[in-house]
Amino acid sequence: MDVSIRSKKLKSEMEINPSLISNLAVNFIREYTKKLERDGVILGLSGGVDSAVVAALCKRAVGARRTLALIMPERDSEKENIKDAIAFAKELKIKVKLIDMTPYLKEIGSYRLFSLERLLFVNREKGESVVKNVYNFYRRLMGEAPFLSGLRGLKGKKGSLYLGRVNAYYRIKHRMRMLLLYFYGEMKNKLVVGAANKTEYKIGYFVKHGCDSASDIMPILNLYKTQVKKLAQYLNIPSKIINKAPSPDIIPGITDEEAIGIPYEELDLVLFALEKGWGINKISKDLGIGKEQIMYIKHLIDESEHMRKIYSLEEETG
């Protein structure tokens, strides 16, 4: 059996029944809205596929009138994503609130860490290219992806001063979104619904205590990114949203796959194989993926473990 056949076999095992998954997720949202005595749900809508899927599921679970989407752009946000989010909210006929986070972030002082405003305003495409070049420069300087370097502390690492500023610059944006979701959620007695997927959660590609980490429920946390896309097709999410390059839209010019360094389809296959208990040699042989790449993915899982746990003295002492 050659590599392509073995790869197809593993992909077939990852296939989901979107109708079944949709019904389970809808019932899950509905159950916890009732269990936690909320009058509806609230979510962040970004213009990306994950939040679009969650919005569609929420509407099915509690209805359009009881679903509130917050669209929370800021100075660096891609305008096309804002338009996509607004258009999709209108398509679903759910309630929506647009909140510009720029004044809050200015007040905190985060924009003073980097002067991107003029660069992006004059020519966004050129500005994004500059950001990408700087990101790749620090990848070469540190000998690894800045994303990986930022999963733990920066003690003794090359470029730590710069990377610390980068981390502070982009992570505050997701944490501000989390604060706004809970502010309006509690004011309106709504359940905060997160949009994290399994792929990003397992490798630490999220902001700890941010909007994709802190929520009341996570209805698609059991789905890998490629499976979320399959569910999106079933839910009739606009193809423009499904097919756009995934991006957290917090550092201009940097997409998910550029930051992580691996295409989602390949990443999901390795994560699924590891979940099945396959060893590195078997994954490399059966999927035709280099051992170094597999070790990198395992390293991401290990380095980000602290992001998925709450440590306590009781746990440490047994």
List pLDDT tens digits, range 218-246.
999 999 999 999 999 999 999 999 999 88
Confidence of residue 100 (pLDDT cuts 50, 70, 90): very high
- pLDDT value of position 247: 85
Is it the case that residue 118 has pLDDT exceeding 60? no
- pLDDT value of position 186: 98
Of 157-161, 239-243, 292-296, where does mean pLDDT reach its minimum? 157-161
- pLDDT value of position 250: 78
Query: In the 3-class helix/strand/coil scheme, how is the chain assigned residue by residue?
Result: CCHHHHHHHHHHHCCCCHHHHHHHHHHHHHHHHHHCCCCEEEEECCCCHHHHHHHHHHHHHHCHHHEEEEECCCCCCCHHHHHHHHHHHHHHCCEEEECCCHHHHHHHCHHHHCCCHHHHHHCHHHHHHHHHHHHHHHHHHHCCCHHHHCCCCCCCCCCHHHHHHHHHHHHHHHHHHHHHHHHHHHHCCEEEECCCCHHHHHHCCCCCCCCCCCCCECCCCCCCHHHHHHHHHHCCCCHHHHHCCCCCCCCCCCCHHHHHCCCHHHHHHHHHHHHCCCCHHHHHHHHCCCHHHHHHHHHHHHHCHHHHCCCCHHHHHC
- Identify the residue whose tokens are 């380095």: 303
Confidence of residue 289 (pLDDT cuts 50, 70, 90): very high
- Identify the residue whose tokens are 């009058």: 39
pLDDT in tens, 67-78: 999 999 999 899
- pLDDT value of position 161: 83
- pLDDT value of position 123: 58
Query: Average pLDDT for residues 87-98, to the nearest whole number?
Result: 98
Confidence of residue 313 (pLDDT cuts 50, 70, 90): confident
pLDDT above 70: percentage of residues in the chain: 93
- Closest by Cα among 312, 284, 97 to 188: 97
Beta strand pairing status for 67-71 and 190-192? Answer: unpaired
Indicate the residue type of 61.
A
Burial 257-290 (b: 16+ CB within 10 A, else e): bbbbbbebebbbbbbbbbeeebebeebbebbebe
User: Residue 41 — φ and ψ, nearest 5°?
Assistant: -130, 160
Confidence of residue 126 (pLDDT cuts 50, 70, 90): low
The CATH class of 3-309 is: alpha beta
pLDDT above 90: percentage of residues in the chain: 70
Rounded to whole angstroms, the Cα distance separating 8 from 286 reads 10
- Closest by Cα among 66, 62, 55 to 92: 55
Domain ranges of the chain: 3-309
Residue 50 tokens read as 């994950």
Query: Average pLDDT for residues 47-74, to the nearest whole number?
Result: 98
Query: Average pLDDT for residues 124-153, to the nearest whole number?
Result: 78
Say how many Å lie between the first and final Cα of the chain, rounded. 48
Is it the case that residue 120 has pLDDT exceeding 60? no
